[in-house]
Amino acid sequence: MATQIQTLLIDDLEGGEAKETVSFAIDGTQYEIDLNDKNARNLREALSPFVSSARRADTAPARGGRKRGGTQRSARDKSSEIRAWAKAHGLNVSERGRIASHIVAQYEAAQ
């Protein structure tokens, strides 16, 4: 027996058929909303002046979380980069293990 599953998106503002799910975040909280073409365009137009003046933020997941989509540098790569930076700036950092929080803070402040 064959099964066919069909997902129907309903516009969260008007209740009609939606064409897409739009994702956005504000104040550290991720949101998704299903919208028809007109409402998706209106949302993007309303956010456009803010987006064009904003900078991209680091979207590293919270401890224990997983980042969805995109690419993420491995913790090992970042640790190697921090160690190299610390050595270049005369800071005492171990070759292995956890990097002291004050060194990580100095590295991040310098970025």
> Per residue in 53-86, is it b (16+ CB within 10 Å) or e — as a string?
eeeeeeeeeeeeeeeeeeeeeeeeeebeebbebb
Tokens (6 digits) for 92 = 């005492």
Per-residue pLDDT, 28: 84
pLDDT band at 70 (very low <50, low <70, confident <90, very high): very low
How much is the average pLDDT of 11-18?
A: 94
Per-residue pLDDT, 65: 54
Tokens (6 digits) for 91 = 């800071």
Domains located in the chain, CATH noted:
7-56 (3.30.60.230), 75-110 (4.10.320.10)
For residues 84 and 78, the answer to whether their CB atoms sit within 8 Å is no
Per-residue pLDDT, 63: 58
Other Cβ atoms closer than 10 A to 49: 9
Who contacts 95 (Cβ-Cβ below 8 Å, separation ≥6)? Answer: 83
pLDDT in tens, 90-109: 988 888 888 888 888 888 88
How much is the average pLDDT of 41-50?
A: 94
